[in-house]
Amino acid sequence: MEYRRLGNSGLQVSVVGLGTNNFGGRTDAQQADRVVRQAIEVGINMVDTSDSYGNGLSEEYIGKSIKGIRSQVVLATKFHGATGKGPNQRGTSRIHIIEAVEKSLKLLGTDYIDLYQVHRPDFATPIEETLRTLDDLVRQGKVLYIGCSNFPAWRLAEAAWTARSLHLETFISAQPEYNMLDRRAEREVVPCCQAYGLGILPYYPLASGFLTGKYHRGQPAPEGTRLAGNARAQQSTLTGANFDVLERLETFAIEREHTMVELAIAWLLATPAVSSVIAGATKPEQVVDNAKAAAWHLTPQEKQQVDDILDAMRRGS
């Protein structure tokens, strides 16, 4: 496994991370434990969760799995979603953050969180209030680093300048949805992260499983997959154009004796600002498959060839 610094910090994270949004949903406690332990065995130290995943079960499962091996894990969780029915039990206000971090610490069974992330922007709360509260948590030792997820570029820049001008802890990472089919992050978020030294942690790198090849042209999504039962997502993802590009990408990967999963992750890692690709897994063997991507370093020529395939998809040719 290869490791990279997370943004401009000194924190080293595995280039392939473990996403756990299925824990507490499609993945029960026993299976989650096997997945986490397999991740650690193959060298993955970046484990990403949220207090909203599985209504808190994801954090609980992870906490039990890493008991006794806490130091081997870079534990990342997120806050923003509702933790109760009250008006102050959601968002990024000081009152909610303090409640949320204590709950997460308890569920995770740890004294500190390595990377505490704002799950999504809260435009009703001043960014200064959020950053001051997170700065307090760092000074208290409950949080070591802070980051964010789903922030537009202007909000990332605002947060960076607010932290800089007020001498507060600043975000070291940003999590955008980013994959071969969804490259919106390249317009502004990626350049902004590069300018301000934030490590990029792409989520949904396999486009909800489409880039694994588990879906087939003209057939409904297989039972148990992420797109199963989601007619709108199937309509937008399982298109003829997407299958056309998938087939070209699969050919590219096979010719180089790699899988489509490896190509999807390796392509993201070819962007220097990407620190770790957050890849979900519900089975230990999926963790192993994801981890193999760390060994494939696309050459500049290979990266350009893949980009040409993807650009052709954008042009509809």
* Tokens 């997959």 belong to residue: 225
The pLDDT, as a whole number, for residue 237 is 76
Question: What are the pLDDT tens digits along the chain (317 aa)?
Answer: 999 999 999 999 999 999 999 999 889 999 999 999 999 999 999 999 999 999 899 999 999 999 999 999 999 999 998 888 889 889 999 999 999 999 999 999 999 999 999 999 999 999 999 999 999 999 999 999 999 999 999 999 999 999 999 999 999 999 999 999 999 999 999 999 999 999 999 999 999 888 987 777 777 767 666 666 666 666 677 777 788 888 999 999 999 999 999 999 999 999 999 999 999 999 999 999 999 999 999 999 999 999 999 987 666 55
Q: How far is CA 166 from the centre of its chain?
A: 28
pLDDT on residue 225: 67
CATH class in words for 3-216+263-296: alpha beta
How many Å apart are CA 309 and CA 306, to the nearest integer? 5
DSSP 246-302: HHHHHHHHHHTT--HHHHHHHHHHTSTTB--EEEE-SSHHHHHHHHGGGG----HHH
pLDDT number for residue 85? 87
pTM for this prediction: 0.92
Q: Is 61 a catalytic residue?
A: no
Among 262, 266, 273, 258, which Cα is nearest to 298's? 266
Q: Which pLDDT belongs to residue 235? A: 67
Residue 56 to residue 49: CA distance in whole angstroms: 9
As given in the structure block, the two tokens for residue 8 are: 């401009």
So what's the pLDDT on residue 231?
64
Backbone angles phi, psi at 79, to 5 degrees: -140, 155
Q: Can you give the residue ranges of every domain in the chain?
A: 3-216+263-296
- What is the spatial distance between Cα 206 and Cα 245, in angstroms, rounded to a whole number? 14
pLDDT at 140: 98
Catalytic residue selected from 53, 116, 178, 204: 53
